[in-house]
């Protein structure tokens, strides 16, 4: 067979980081990763390429994750393990904005697209997400598999999940602008101190209960302070947000980025406050993505 396919998936922001309890919550962000896959007998195996731009251009791109995604999809359909996968992304890597989940999802969707429309229908969206989660664990880029982040990335909206059971507990949509503070310094999930994160589990469970009650701003703010303490991040960006009357702000993932749910009135003040932190980085404005990108 010789065929091409395309896929895309969004980044995400954190409401509850699942590392402490394996229970998480996240929301889609309109930052995108795009993948293209070509299948055919001309390839020796599965080859990958990651196109990096801007400040990430000098980073060493590890293609194991996207190659593993293609491999697992092809195995699922008992097809020859031959193909080429390429991703390009506007999500900063190592920033806590779920670049790995987006890359995995986009690669899986592109592979399914190359196989044919019936492959998507046969597999279904949650199983497609689980393949990306397996690939993330195999490639060592995730601690829990990040099922919560992957669901937010492909389903859009706000999701609440049990990552150990790989179950989607709840999904709701929310209209909100998001202000994102992205320090230049990177922080990769694989380097996270899991032991310290597990120490805060009882209080993360409280935040998770708030999320189940759809008190998402309260949940993410509590989550943010807890993980700043456990992972040794300065909580000043969060305090600055509270000073600007922002109700929902959190360290995203294992950092170093912070995400805040804002409106036009609060955005200007928070943007100014974050720019005065004296930390090298940038502030971006996006929206919660509520669109599902698996059709």
CATH number of domain containing 121: 3.30.230.10
The predicted model gives 111-140 an average pLDDT of: 95
| pLDDT per residue as tens digits for the range 148-165 | 999 999 999 999 999 999
How sure is the predictor about 253, in pLDDT bands with cuts at 50, 70 and 90? very high
Measured from the Cβ of residue 195, the count of other Cβ atoms closer than 10 Å reads: 8
Alpha carbons 254 and 61: distance in angstroms, whole number: 20
Q: Is residue 194 situated within a structural domain? A: yes
Alpha carbons 22 and 66: distance in angstroms, whole number: 24
Is the pLDDT assigned to residue 60 strictly greater than 70? Answer: no
- 229 or 186: which leads in pLDDT: 229
The residue segments making up the domain with residue 210 are 177-287
Per-residue tokens: 243: 């000073």
Q: Is residue 155 situated within a structural domain? A: yes
pTM for this predicted structure: 0.95
- Whether 156 and 230 map to the same domain: the answer is no
Per-residue tokens: 196: 């310290």
Q: Is residue 295 situated within a structural domain? A: no
Is the pLDDT assigned to residue 144 strictly greater than 90? Answer: no
- Whether 205 and 142 map to the same domain: the answer is no
- Whether 208 and 100 map to the same domain: the answer is no
- What DSSP string describes 127-170? HHHHHHHHHHHHHT--SS--HHHHHHHHH-SEEEEETTTTEEEE
Q: Is residue 110 situated within a structural domain? A: yes
Q: Is residue 197 situated within a structural domain? A: yes
How sure is the predictor about 54, in pLDDT bands with cuts at 50, 70 and 90? low
- Whether 12 and 129 map to the same domain: the answer is yes
- Cα separation values, 218 from 13, 24, 222, Å: 15, 14, 6
Is the pLDDT assigned to residue 115 strictly greater than 90? Answer: yes
Give the least confident one: 17-21, 66-70, 190-194, 242-246. Answer: 190-194
- Whether 220 and 141 map to the same domain: the answer is no
Question: Which residue is it, tokens 């980025």?
Answer: 257
CATH number of domain containing 231: 3.30.70.890
Q: Is residue 165 situated within a structural domain? A: yes
What is the dihedral sign for C-alpha 211, 214, 217, 218? negative
Where residue 78 falls (left for φ over 0; alpha for ψ -120 to 50; beta otherwise) is left
Task: Specify the pLDDT at position 61.
Answer: 73
Question: Which residue is it, tokens 């989607």?
Answer: 168
Is the pLDDT assigned to residue 31 strictly greater than 60? Answer: yes
| pLDDT per residue as tens digits for the range 21-30 | 999 999 999 9
- Whether 186 and 256 map to the same domain: the answer is yes
- Whether 181 and 168 map to the same domain: the answer is no
What spatial distance separates the first Cα and last Cα of the chain, rounded to whole Å?
Answer: 23
- Whether 158 and 30 map to the same domain: the answer is yes
- Whether 107 and 33 map to the same domain: the answer is yes
- Bridge partners for 288 per DSSP: 29
Task: Specify the pLDDT at position 255.
Answer: 93
Last residue of a domain, one of 150, 172, 194: 172
- Give yes or no for a cis peptide into 256 (omega within 30° of 0): yes
Q: Are 202 and 19 in contact (CB under 8 A)?
A: no
DSSP state at residue 212: H
- Whether 145 and 8 map to the same domain: the answer is yes
Mean residue pLDDT across the chain = 94
The predicted model gives 173-183 an average pLDDT of: 97
Q: Are 63 and 117 in contact (CB under 8 A)?
A: no
Is the pLDDT assigned to residue 117 strictly greater than 80? Answer: yes
Tell me how many domains the chain contains: 2
Task: Specify the pLDDT at position 189.
Answer: 67
Is the pLDDT assigned to residue 187 strictly greater than 90? Answer: no
Task: Specify the pLDDT at position 41.
Answer: 86
Q: Is residue 292 situated within a structural domain? A: no
Is the pLDDT assigned to residue 206 strictly greater than 50? Answer: yes
Q: Are 8 and 32 in contact (CB under 8 A)?
A: yes
What is the dihedral sign for C-alpha 140, 144, 149, 151? positive
Is the pLDDT assigned to residue 8 strictly greater than 80? Answer: yes
Helix (H, G, I), strand (E, B) or coil at 96: coil
Q: Are 100 and 65 in contact (CB under 8 A)?
A: yes
Q: Are 294 and 153 in contact (CB under 8 A)?
A: no
- What DSSP string describes 159-215? EEEETTTTEEEEEE----EEEEEEESS---GGG--HHHHHHTHHHHHHHHHHHHTT-
The predicted model gives 31-42 an average pLDDT of: 95
Q: Is residue 88 situated within a structural domain? A: yes
Task: Specify the pLDDT at position 58.
Answer: 46
- Whether 120 and 223 map to the same domain: the answer is no
């Amino acid at each position: 067979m010789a065929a091409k396919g395309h896929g895309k998936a969004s980044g995400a922001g954190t409401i509850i980081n699942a590392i402490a309890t394996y229970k998480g919550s996240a929301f889609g962000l309109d930052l995108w990763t795009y993948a293209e896959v070509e299948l055919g007998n001309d390839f020796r195996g599965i080859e990958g390429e990651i196109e990096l731009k801007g400040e990430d251009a000098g980073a060493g791109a590890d293609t194991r994750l996207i190659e593993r995604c293609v491999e697992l999809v092809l195995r699922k359909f008992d097809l020859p393990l031959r193909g080429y996968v390429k991703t390009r992304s506007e999500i900063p890597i190592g920033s806590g904005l779920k670049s790995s989940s987006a890359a995995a999802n986009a690669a899986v969707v592109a592979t399914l697209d190359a196989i044919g429309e019936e492959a998507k229908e046969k597999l279904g969206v949650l199983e497609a997400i689980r393949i990306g989660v397996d690939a993330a664990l195999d490639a060592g880029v995730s601690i829990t598999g990040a099922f919560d982040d992957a669901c937010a990335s492909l389903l859009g909206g706000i999701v609440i999940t049990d990552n150990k059971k790989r179950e989607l507990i709840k999904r709701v949509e929310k209209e909100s602008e998001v202000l994102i503070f992205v320090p230049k310094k990177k922080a990769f999930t694989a380097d996270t101190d899991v032991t310290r994160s597990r120490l805060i589990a009882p209080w993360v469970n409280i935040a998770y209960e708030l999320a189940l009650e759809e008190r998402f701003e309260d949940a993410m703010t509590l989550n943010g302070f807890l993980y700043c303490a456990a992972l040794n991040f300065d909580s000043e960006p969060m305090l600055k947000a509270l000073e600007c009357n922002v109700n929902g702000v959190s360290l995203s993932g294992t950092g170093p980025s912070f995400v805040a749910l804002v409106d036009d009135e609060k955005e200007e003040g928070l943007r100014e406050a974050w720019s005065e932190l004296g930390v090298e980085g940038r502030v971006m404005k996006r929206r919660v993505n509520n669109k599902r990108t698996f059709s």
